[in-house]
Amino acid sequence: TGAMNTSYIRGNAIHHSNNRACTLHDISNTTVEYNVAYNIKGLTFFLEDGVEMYNVIQYNLAVFTRMSNSLLNPDINPASFWIVNPNNKFRHNSCAGGTHLCFWLRPARVPDGPSYTQNFCPY
């Protein structure tokens, strides 16, 4: 959680996943690059709540992103790259052969999801 200036997700091959390839959740200043994702159920490269900012997502390839009925509603019509906060850099990413969308830009008026507020009790 928070600013992760030296963190990265780099050079991975992720395949046959039943629940996404790469999820950024309440994180900023991270680099996601040179990854290949194949045969993924649900949103493949996923910025979750809209509070994620200043991340660099570049030179990634998503091949055969598939729908999932067991995750979130957007996973029924999944995008390879799900963008809820445009205050991130998406450069030179590609996708092929998915069942629905390559890029889905869905800017939220206000962030949503569990990282939006810390005023909850998990029990």
Q: Cα–Cα distance between 21 and 36 in angstroms, integer?
A: 9
pTM metric for this prediction: 0.86
Does 6 or 11 have the greater pLDDT score? Answer: 11
Residues 97, 10: Cα–Cα separation, whole Å: 23
Query: What value does the mean pLDDT take over residues 22-43?
Result: 94
DSSP code at position 115: T
Opening angle at CA 114, ends 17 and 2, nearest 5: 85
Each residue's pLDDT tens digit, 47-101: 988 889 999 999 999 999 999 887 788 888 899 999 989 999 999 999 999 999 8
